[in-house]
Structure 1
Amino acid sequence: MADEPLKADMIRLIPKLRSFALRLCRNPDQADDLVQTTCERAIRSLDQFDPATRLDSWMFRILQNLYFNMQRDTANRARLFEKAMFDYDDTFDGQRAAVSSLELQQVRRFIEQLDDDNRTVLMMIAIDGRSYKDVAEELQVPIGTVTSRLARARLKLRDWLEARKSPEGASQSASKGVVS
Structure 2
Amino acid sequence: MSDEALKTEMIRLLPKLRSFALRLCRNPDQADDLVQTTCERAIRSLDQFDPATRLDSWMFRILQNLYFNTVRDGANRARLFDLAMMDFEESYDGAKAAASSLELQKVQSFIGQLEEDNREVLLKIAIEGQSYKDVAEELGVPIGTVTSRLARARLKLREFLEAKDTAPGVALRSMPGGMS
TM-score, length of structure 1 as denominator length: 0.80
Q: For this pair of structures, how many residues does the alignment match? A: 176
Shift of the alpha carbon at 1:96?
A: 1.0
Looking at structure 2, the residues matched to 171 and 25 of structure 1 have their Cα atoms a distance apart, in angstroms, of: 48
**What is the SS of the residue equivalent to 1:158?**
helix
Residue 150 of structure 1 deviates from its aligned partner by: 1.2
Is the counterpart of residue 159 in structure 1 residue 156 in structure 2? no
Q: Classify the secondary structure of the residue corresponding to 1:107.
A: helix
Q: Which residue of 1 aligns with 2:13?
A: 13
Range 92-101 or range 115-124, more displaced: 115-124
Q: Which amino acid aligns with 2:14?
A: I
Deviation for aligned residue 1:84: 2.3
What letter matches 1:170 in structure 2?
A
Aligned equivalents of 1:163, 1:139: Cα separation in 2: 31
Larger Rg: 1
Alignment of 1:5-44 (within 5 A): 5-44=5-44
- Whole-Å Cα distance in 2 between the matches of residues 49 and 9 of structure 1? 13
- Runs of at least 5 residues in structure 1 that lack an aligned partner in the other structure: none
What is the aligned partner in structure 1 of residue 167 from structure 2? 170
RMSD (Å), alpha carbons: 2.8
Unaligned runs of 5+ in 2: none
Q: 1:96 to 1:2 in 2, by over 3 A?
A: closer
Contact 1:119 1:153 in 2 (8 A): yes
- The alpha-carbon distance between structure 1 residues 146 and 94, as it changes in their structure 2 partners (threshold 3 A), is same
CA contact (8 A) 1:73 1:131 kept: no
Percent same amino acid among aligned pairs? 76
Following TM superposition, the consecutive aligned residue runs of length 4 or more in structure 1 with deviations greater than 6 angstroms are none
- Alpha-carbon distance between aligned partners in 2 of 1:172 and 1:61, rounded to the nearest angstrom: 49
Q: What does the per-residue CA deviation read over 1:118-147, in whole Å, with 9 as the maximum and x for residues that have no partner?
A: 222222322333333333233322222112
Matches within 5 A, 1:19-98: 19-98=19-98
Residue of structure 2 in register with 1:136 after alignment: 136
SS in 1 for 2:167: helix
Letter in 2 for 1:43: I
